[in-house]
Every structure is written in structure tokens, then in C-alpha cells.
């Protein structure tokens, strides 16, 4: 997602909904951006379901567009921050936001475990119910917009790479971009699941579970970096909210330095 400095406030066409749209038209706009109505389904803590939408907002006196995921739960609106978007059109910004939501699996009870479900009481996985598994399967996404943007930016700099492979076949760690000759592995990390210091917000529900989960992911990332370093590789980690052009430039410097 975008993060570079902007000279002016975004144009209305980049974030405002068209005037006069009916409820059905607004729903169709969200369906198209998400890739279908079923990909907007939220599994609620009580096992129920809701249909979420993306809301784009430009706060007063700012020059950035922020995306939020919204749905209704027990008569109240629930809102969760998704990230910053920076495309030229509202349609593209909605698509970018939905891509991020699906990659981070935010549609599973608002990315929180089902505290009231039977599986949670038994100590099993919070994603063990058939309904939750179905949503998670639908939201597993490859070739997301942030991934494509980063690949395109790196390719434009004249670099060639492998996509989605294990730098070390014997270790189950898959990198997003791999430069085999230079021995550089690039990981595009999601802000929620990898604990982005800028955007990660601890869950209020089942706090202990999520602290352990995110902490475990961070520890695994550190272990991955160590194992690759010991094998003669260098890792580059990019947050999904970072500007792809800036990230590509950083990657290019590392690859070219190691290839010199």
C-alpha cells in the first residue's frame, strides 16, 4: 500500500462514492472490488455472518486516503483500519483495500478468534469451525495487488527473480521474490500478521492468544533471517504498506551490491 509524500489532497474521484447511487449499486461496487459477494462475508464471534464494506476516508488537512473495513454487529457499526491506498480511482483503491483484507484474513471475526465458539472453549483452533474455514479458504490470496506492484517495480529496474519459492529447499520458508545468483530473498510482510510497528494494533478480544500468535510470527521471521544468513543469503523485508517503488529501489541496491 502507498506511503509516499503527496503534494496535494487526493481528487474526489480517487475516494468519494458517486452521488445518487442506490443501495444495490453501492453493494455491486463493493462486490466487484472484492471479487464477489461471498468474499465480503465476516464470521462474527457468535457464529453469525455479516457482509462487510470498505470505506475510504481522507481526514481533514491531510493528503492521504485511508481504507477501513466496516460491518454491522448487533446493531452497531464495527470498523477496522486496513491501510493507506493511493491509486487514481476509487475503483482501484477499493480493489487494493480488499486485496489487503483478504491477504490478512481480516474477515474472520474481524481477524479475531471466535471467543464464544465451541471450538474455542475446547481449546481447539479458532478457525476450526466449518464456517470459518470456508471464509479463510475463500480469502487465501496469491498474486495480491501489493505483490504485483512490488514485482512490477522490481522488474522495471531490470531485475529478474523467482516468485514464491524456498531459498533453502530443506527449510519450509517461502520467500515472495528470490534472486538465486545473488542469494537475496525478499519477504513482503502483512502489517497485521507480522506485527507492523506502524499499523499493528493488538486485539482486545482473546488478547493473550493474539499476543502469542503475532509474537510467534515475529520470532519465526527472525529465525528465517538467521537461517538464511547462516547459509550465505541476505533477506530483505518489506511491509505491505510501503511504497513499492521505494521498496524496489532498496531491493535493487542489495541485489546489485551482492552481484558486484
At 53-89, the pLDDT tens digits run: 999 999 888 889 999 999 887 777 888 889 999 999 9
Asked whether the predicted pLDDT for residue 128 surpasses 50, the reply is no
Sheet holding 65-73, edge to edge: 53-57, 65-73, 76-85
SS (H, E, C) 54-109: EEEECCCCCCCEEEEEEEEECCEEEEEEEEEECCCCHHHHHHHHHHHHHHHCCCEH
Q: Where are the domains of the chain?
A: 12-139, 145-259
At 88-108, the pLDDT tens digits run: 999 999 999 999 888 877 886
Asked whether the predicted pLDDT for residue 117 surpasses 50, the reply is no
* pTM for this predicted structure: 0.50
As assigned by CATH, the class of the 145-259 domain is alpha beta
How far is it, in rounded angstroms, from Cα 88 to Cα 65?
A: 11
pLDDT bucket at 148, cuts 50 / 70 / 90: confident
Amino acid at each position: 500500500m502507498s506511503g509516499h509524500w503527496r503534494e496535494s489532497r487526493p481528487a474526489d474521484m480517487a475516494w468519494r462514492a458517486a452521488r445518487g447511487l442506490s443501495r444495490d449499486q453501492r453493494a455491486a461496487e463493493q462486490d466487484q472490488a472484492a471479487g464477489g459477494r461471498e468474499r465480503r462475508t465476516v464470521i462474527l464471534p457468535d457464529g453469525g455472518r455479516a457482509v462487510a464494506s470498505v470505506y475510504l476516508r481522507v481526514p481533514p488537512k491531510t493528503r492521504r486516503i485511508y481504507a477501513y473495513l466496516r460491518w454491522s454487529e448487533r446493531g452497531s457499526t464495527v470498523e477496522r483500519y486496513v491501510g493507506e491506498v493511493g491509486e487514481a480511482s476509487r475503483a482501484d483503491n477499493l480493489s487494493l483495500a480488499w486485496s489487503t483484507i483478504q491477504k490478512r484474513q481480516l474477515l474472520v471475526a474481524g481477524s479475531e478468534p471466535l471467543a464464544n465458539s465451541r471450538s474455542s472453549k475446547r481449546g481447539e483452533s479458532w478457525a476450526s469451525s466449518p464456517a470459518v474455514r470456508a471464509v479463510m479458504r475463500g480469502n487465501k490470496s496469491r498474486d495480491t495487488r501489493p505483490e504485483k506492484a512490488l514485482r512490477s517495480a522490481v522488474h522495471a529496474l531490470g531485475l529478474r527473480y523467482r516468485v514464491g519459492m524456498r531459498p533453502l529447499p530443506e527449510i519450509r520458508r517461502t520467500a515472495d521474490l528470490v534472486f538465486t545468483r545473488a542469494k537475496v530473498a525478499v519477504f513482503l510482510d502483512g502489517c497485521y500478521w507480522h506485527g507492523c510497528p506502524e499499523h499493528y494494533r493488538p486485539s482486545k478480544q482473546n488478547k493473550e492468544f493474539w499476543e502469542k500468535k503475532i509474537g510467534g510470527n515475529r520470532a519465526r521471521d527472525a529465525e528465517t533471517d538467521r537461517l538464511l544468513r547462516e547459509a550465505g543469503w541476505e533477506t530483505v523485508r518489506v511491509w505491505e504498506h510501503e511504497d513499492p517503488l521505494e521498496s524496489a529501489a532498496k531491493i535493487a541496491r542489495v541485489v546489485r551490491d551482492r552481484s558486484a
